[in-house]
Structure 1
Amino acid sequence: MVTLIVAMGENNEIGYKNQLLWHLPKDLKHFKELTTDHPIIMGRKTFESIGKVLPNRTNIVISNKDDWFEEGILIVGSIKEAIKFAKKINEEIFVIGGGSIYGQTIEFADVLKVTLVKTALKADTFFPKIKGKEFLKTEEICHEADENNEFDFCFQTWERKKN
């Protein structure tokens, strides 16, 4: 099962200048709970913005730069290679970004785990539009902003419709 996991704003925005747009500790905890013990697939720029290997997960980074290497990650050259390798590790795979990687993997996605942040901010990176004819929202749990989480947000689960 391929799951895309993302925090996005009301206009599908996810980042600006290779940085996240918000800091939501509840979302980070949710992300960690869902992805721990699973392979995670990301692009090189996403890995560089995180700045470290995420523990207790197999970190698979897609890059076509021949001279790039980081200790503790597996570097592959394509989405298909990343998914093929990840499926050997665990049946459930998480794709964690960025925008280009989401755009290339949404066609393979079985599930979308979306944190919808109730704001619209300036961005240069976006999540693909979720098509209602392809995905069905099966769960939504909303949280109000508080002293640690600056915006209202909802955890949503979208499942690919069966043919």
Structure 2
Amino acid sequence: MRVKLIMVQSINGKIRMSDDSQRSWSSAEDKEHFYNITKDIGIILMGRKTFEEIGSPLKNRINIVLTGNPEKYKEVELKYDKYLYFTDNPPEILLDKLEKKGYPEVALIGGSTINSLFLEKNLIDEIFLTIEPVIIEGDLSIFKYVNDKYNFKLTDFKKLNEDTILLHYLKTDDKK
């Protein structure tokens, strides 16, 4: 099971503006990249806060929300039958269940706490990171905490538009 982290950040390393208007600073090209890659993967994982900020499941993808209280969201889950699930499974158990159902990969889309949880368990295989040419007053970085050193190798980069770049990293076993 491959986990692909897909994120966008400002050049000062923030993924959300302090006033919660996080979507307004991301370019149309990044939004298109995000839609295409997550639609191709077909299944996305996110934390409860990210889901609540988005407000509804992302279309054309299975949405799985990690939360400490999945029972609280049973009615919402039923409303979006087969497209939205809430779980309190630990990441490795969730990934094992998804792999047994035939999913070879998932898109991890945040937030910073969930990203850190997957990172600390060494479960992130790839990172697609868009850098937008803005400096924002932000309150979140890609990872809320990092407890060790994790090595990744830049395998590709491209311009999404005149000023926005997309970086693609693969996890390495290098212990430098």
- Aligned position for 1:67: 72
CA distance in 2, matches of 1:142, 1:116: 10
Distance 1:23 1:9, change over 3 A: closer
Amino acid at match of 1:56: N
1:13 is matched with which residue? Answer: 14
Counterpart of 2:128 in structure 1 is: 113
CA offsets per residue over residues 40-70 of structure 1, 9 Å max, x none?
0001111111112112211000111342342
TM-score normalised per structure 1: 0.84
Is residue 35–residue 94 contact of structure 1 (8 Å, CA) maintained in 2?
yes
| Cα deviation 1:99-130 (Å, max 9, x = unaligned) | 11111112211100110112221111111399
**C-alpha distance in structure 2 between counterparts of 1:96 and 1:127, whole Å:** 10
Structure 1 pair 143–132 and aligned structure 2 pair: CA distance change class (3 A): farther
* Identity among equivalent pairs (%): 25
Distance in 2, Cα, partners of 1:43 & 1:2: 15
The 5 Å alignment of 1:36-115 reads 36-37=39-40, 38-65=42-69, 66-69=71-74, 70=76, 71-72=79-80, 73-77=84-88, 78-87=90-99, 88-106=101-119, 107-115=122-130
- Please identify which structure carries the higher strand content: 1
In the alignment, residue 8 of structure 2 is paired with which amino acid? A
In structure 2, what is the equivalent of residue 135 of structure 1?
152
Structure 2: runs of 5 or more not aligned: none
Q: Which secondary structure state, in structure 2, belongs to the residue aligned with residue 36 of structure 1?
A: helix
**Higher fraction of helix:** 2
Segments of structure 1 that go 5 or more residues without pairing to the other structure are 146-151
- Residues matched between the structures, number: 157
TM-align CA RMSD: 2.4
TM-score after normalising by structure 2: 0.78
